[in-house]
Amino acid sequence: MIPSILFVDDEPGVLAAARRIFLDQPVSVVTAASGEEALEVLRSRPVAVIVSDNLMPGMSGIQFLERAKALVPDTVRILLTGYADVQAAIDAINRGGVYRFLTKPWNNEQLLKAVQDGIQEYEMISALKNADEAKLLSLAQAVELKDPYTAGHCEHVAEYALAIAAASGMSGSILRDIKYASWLHDCGKIGVPEEVLNYPGRLTDDMMSIVRKHSEWGADVVRKAALPDSVVRAILHHHEKYDGTGYPRGLAGEAIPVEARIVTIADVYDALVTDRPYRAALPKAEALHIICKGRATWFDPALAGLFVSLMGGACD
């Protein structure tokens, strides 16, 4: 089925320009001149991605997208806004009403890429709702294509996380959920622009604020797909730190779900021993030393020590 894209703007010229951008794309473009008209479209047909202007007579774009979220929560929402309204757009993202925003006048390639990413997320949610294990892994690998440095990362994280979980006495469905969470822990990065993911240096504060949303975006994807709560928790909290300085909630100690504490160790270790845009891979011994140093600050001390011993090392 060809995905539908809904463009909302009160200027006919803008809607015509949007149609031209997608003429040679395998999508169906629908347009609306107001938020009220767009809500009627959403009530009448499935839409994968909404792209809405913000400053419109009557209902603003942010107000419309927040109403659209309540009406069709799986539909991906993109806001077009002027530079003067960027903070309002960021606030809308933080409230969960907007998936991404682009400033006007837009760059055609950026708009096309944002919509393509949105379609991929929409299709991922749909697929996850009825996915078997092979499909889950395939979807996770598709997300990794956005960042060539992370090829194979989801499988490595699952391998390490399952080893920790099994060695700590877990069994049954929790092992399955940890495997799924490990595969999908970075699925929220589908909402992070590739130029940010592959930035060859230290990220700016604005870039980092976008990256830090990926755990919430990923949890939202798997929540919409009705995966188990333990999978949602592991994805949402896999960047928390044991001392409470992590994100997105600043949880500390055992308030961090154990599934997340396990995935965190596996995720960080694999990142350390893998080449990244900003540094070369570290030797195994050096990576294990960092895991040891992070006990009680970054990582659950017992689980970190267990992992290091499983990898043939020892903490002082």
User: Which pTM does this prediction carry?
Assistant: 0.72
Burial status of residue 203 (CB atoms within 10 A of its CB: 0-12, 13-18, 19 or more): middle
What's the pLDDT tens digit per position in 70-82?
999 999 999 887 7
- Model confidence pLDDT, tens digit, residues 146-156: 665 566 889 99
Tell me the pLDDT band of 127, cut-offs 50, 70 and 90.
Answer: confident
Closest by CA position to 89, among listed 127, 55, 57 = 55
Amino acid identity for residue 191 in this structure: G
Superfamily of domain 132-310: Hypothetical protein af1432 (1.10.3210.10)
* Per-residue pLDDT tens digits for 209-263: 888 888 998 998 898 888 999 999 999 999 999 999 999 999 999 999 999 999 9
Report the greatest alpha carbon distance in the chain: 68
**With 60 as the cut, is the pLDDT of residue 276 above it?**
yes
Per CATH, 4-125 and 132-310 having the same topology is answered: no
Confidence of residue 55 (pLDDT cuts 50, 70, 90): confident
The domain made up of 4-125 is a member of CATH 1.10.10.10: no
**Nearest in space to 77 (alpha carbons), one of 129, 32, 36, 122:** 122
CA distance 48 to 206: 27
Instruction: Between 287 and 95, name the one with better pLDDT.
Output: 287
Angle 167-183-291 from CA coordinates, rounded to 5°: 50
Domain ranges of the chain: 4-125, 132-310
Q: Which amino acid is it at 312?
A: G
Please say if the pLDDT value at position 91 is more than 80.
Answer: no
